[in-house]
Amino acid sequence: MQVFDTPDSMRAWSQARRVEGRRIAVVPTMGALHEGHLALVRAASDLAELVVVTIFVNPLQFNQPADLDAYPRPIDDDLAACRTAGVDAVYAPTAAVMYPPGFQTHVEPGVLAGRLEGPMRPGHFRGVTTVVMKLLAATVPHVAVFGRKDFQQLTIVRRMVADLDVGIEVVGIPIVREPDGLALSSRNVRLTADDRIAALVLSRALRAAADAHAGGELDAADLKATAARVIEAEPRARLEYVELVDVESLAAIERVDRPAVMLTAAWFGDVRLIDNLELDSRMDRR
């Protein structure tokens, strides 16, 4: 497995592989790799002959310095996990390499970034689109693989790739959950034991809404209230939002008469978690 820490060395490797006619998939991550990331790597291996994982904790997308400082960075474990998973190359630049003095150009996302997470995390998606564009420029992939865990991010990246004529395929992979339903996240390790249990309300709330939907309830306000009640019944949870939106525009809907996704964000102690459930697909009930 090759490890690169500059855009030029990364791009030289990718360009050489492309000249050989090989297809490259990239999996952008912030490290602290878990089974969710590894599911993306497996999907990437099915989509292309060569897999590149990027590991970069992007300061631009953190709107709270404390969250950036607390973000786990177990780089040795991550490299070992990539090796075991059969990854061909890792691109792990430093922040100084990514944003040297004089850096000033950003990718400005549109209205999709103003919804849901947008108002809660000012500047977050502008940081995401900017770093993803840089990572794509360095890795020059044919296909990029993202998780549906970050549903809004996936939607915004798809839009950016279309709008800026990037010419790659973007693939979204279903959420990987713990057996008890908690969506895997690098932030889960920061939950206290009590908050880890409390955090189960997110998937339980989404499942309650999905069950109501499966039972014929189509009214968005009712479905959101069903989910919100579950989360608000947990004293350790501080709910930020429950929304039900159109899967493409991310605009709020009043009735589930089209493919829709319910998304939620809540705090458990000083850890902010997000989760979502697409109402037109079956929830993983393992």
Task: Give the residue numbers annotated as catalytic, written as ranges.
Answer: 37
Which of 109, 118, 127, 147 contacts ligand AMP by CB under 6 A?
147
- The smaller minimum CB distance to ligand AMP, of residues 113 and 173, is found at 173
C-alpha count within 13 angstroms, C-beta hemisphere, residue 144: 26
- x-or-dash string of contact with ligand AMP, 168-187, rule CB under 6 A: -----x-xx------xxxx-
Q: What is the CA radius of gyration of the chain?
A: 19
Which of the ranges 31-39, 79-87, 215-223, 227-235 carries the binding residues for ligand AMP, by CB under 6 A? 31-39
Nearest to 228 by CA among 258, 266, 194: 266
For the window 36-65, what string marks contact with ligand AMP as x by the rule CB under 6 A?
Answer: xx-xx-------------------------
Q: Which is nearer to ligand AMP, 130 or 186 (CB)?
A: 186
Of the candidates 78, 88, 117, 150, which one interacts with ligand AMP according to CB under 6 A? 150
In the set 13, 14, 17, 29, which binds ligand AMP (CB under 6 A)?
29
Residues 6+ apart with CB under 8 A from 242: 205, 224, 227, 228, 231, 262, 263, 264
Distance CA 118, CA 126 (A): 10
Burial class (CB in 10 A: 0-12, 13-18, 19+), 191: buried
CB-based contact 2:13 (threshold 8 Å): yes
What does the binding site for ligand AMP look like in residue numbers (CB under 6 A)? 29-30, 36-37, 39-40, 146-147, 149-150, 173, 175-176, 183-186
